[in-house]
Amino acid sequence: MFEFLSDLFGSQIIAAFISAALPLVFIVPFVIFAVWLERKVSAHMQDRLGPMRVGWHGWLQTIADFFKLLQKEDIVASDTDKKFFNVAPYIVFAGTYLVFAALPFSSAYIGTSLDIGLFYIIAVSGLVVIGILMAGWASNNKYSLYGAMRSAAQIVSYEIPTAIVILSIVMFTGTLSLSEISDNQTAYFWNWYIFGGPDWGLTKFLVLPFMIIGFLILYISTLAEVNRTPFDMPEAESELVAGYHTEYSGIKFSMFFLAEYGNMFAVSAIVSVIFFGGYQSPIGYLGDALAANWLIPFEQLFWFAAKGIFFVFVQMWLRWTLPRVRVDQLMTLCWKYLIPYSIVNLIIIGIITLI
């Protein structure tokens, strides 16, 4: 994409800017859609209708809310640490946005096709923790601080099982590049890594159960990383009011919101890239059948978004079904169960890869 644009404009700078802005074109509509979806999903699970007034089944509700948030007074309490307070939401959002740079939306568009894509994603998503800690500390509010501390502890802990599961995939595939991993799982669902990868043979069947375990561990820990119920400790509404963003209002609050929903999609996308073929279609391409090659990238974009949104939907489903775990139980789950299981899983997958 970047090469295409730099050829088109004759300038690498313009191409870089456009290329970098494209995920934003995806994130904002996605968040608007996801918030609406969240409200509809929760409402229908709870025998309600949810927003119904603004547009058809309330689909414009989030846009109205977005404009409301834009117009709101930006309240900054006098005792806050102004510099950090103001910059924190943007750091959180930046952390999310950086992840999008390495996501392969389709074979034709990927922000930067890094060879170390997975490593890069794990690294930059740590930036979110800094933003959250800054927000919690700068708010000068005990609830915010508790939320931030919990959040930091939680994200840092859950990055370990995430990283270990990703490591086992890296071992199995022999690459860190997200687009390469996607390309490997060619266009039929039995080639997905959750079903043992594209190579037919004994390995595929040996590795299959461990891939499923790996997927479960990864999904649970990404759930915790994006602070969703049952792991929404940092913003546990009934305990900490709103956690680290208690003191924020207006556009800064919506930055956190944007980051949260953006993050939800980002981790869902990573899960789908690693285990569910990324942008690859599960049932072959219409473009192939019609001999229209230009159609394929668009189909891939559709499948990528569809898989991501499906996992976002599962996150919502869990949120509106399960209660919240306690902070010590959260840590117990991570350190006593997920990490040992993922290490064992890593070893087994390693052995299978060797033979």
Closest distance between another protein and the C-beta of residue 257, in Å?
18
Q: Which is nearer to another protein, 230 or 277 (CB)?
A: 230
Closest distance between another protein and the C-beta of residue 321, in Å?
6
DSSP label at residue 283: B
Contacts of 202 (CB under 8 A, 6+ apart): none
DSSP label at residue 335: I
Q: Which two tokens stand for residue 276?
A: 């569910």
Q: Return d(Cα 294, Cα 158) in angstroms, integer.
A: 40
Closest distance between another protein and the C-beta of residue 205, in Å?
32
- Report the length, in residues, of the chain: 355
Q: Which is nearer to another protein, 73 or 328 (CB)?
A: 328
Helix (H, G, I), strand (E, B) or coil at 110: strand
Closest distance between another protein and the C-beta of residue 266, in Å?
24
Closest distance between another protein and the C-beta of residue 82, in Å?
24
Q: Which residue ranges make up the site for another protein (CB under 8 A)?
A: 42, 45-48, 142-143, 146, 229-230, 232, 236-239, 241, 320-329
Q: Considering Cα of 257, then 259, then 262, then 268, what sign does the dihedral take? A: negative
Q: Which is nearer to another protein, 133 or 270 (CB)?
A: 133
Q: Which is nearer to another protein, 196 or 234 (CB)?
A: 234
Q: Which is nearer to another protein, 91 or 226 (CB)?
A: 226
Given a contact cutoff of 8 angstroms between Cβ atoms, the answer to whether 264 and 27 are in contact is no
Q: Which is nearer to another protein, 112 or 329 (CB)?
A: 329
DSSP label at residue 115: T
Q: Which is nearer to another protein, 82 or 326 (CB)?
A: 326
**How many Cβ atoms are within 10 Å of 49's Cβ, its own excluded?**
11
Closest distance between another protein and the C-beta of residue 230, in Å?
6
Q: Which two tokens stand for residue 144?
A: 């915010």
Closest distance between another protein and the C-beta of residue 46, in Å?
4
Q: Which is nearer to another protein, 44 or 68 (CB)?
A: 44
Q: Which is nearer to another protein, 42 or 107 (CB)?
A: 42
In the chain, the largest separation of any two C-alpha atoms, in whole Å, equals: 66
Q: Return d(Cα 257, Cα 262) in angstroms, integer.
A: 8
Residues in a beta bridge with 283: 188
Closest distance between another protein and the C-beta of residue 239, in Å?
5
Q: Which of 31, 51, 90, 16 is nearest to 266 (CA)?
A: 31
Contacts of 320 (CB under 8 A, 6+ apart): 41, 42, 45, 46, 229
Closest distance between another protein and the C-beta of residue 343, in Å?
24
CA 183 to chain centroid: 20
Quick one: 223 exposed, middle or buried, by C-beta within 10 A (0-12, 13-18, 19+)?
buried
Given a contact cutoff of 8 angstroms between Cβ atoms, the answer to whether 124 and 166 are in contact is no
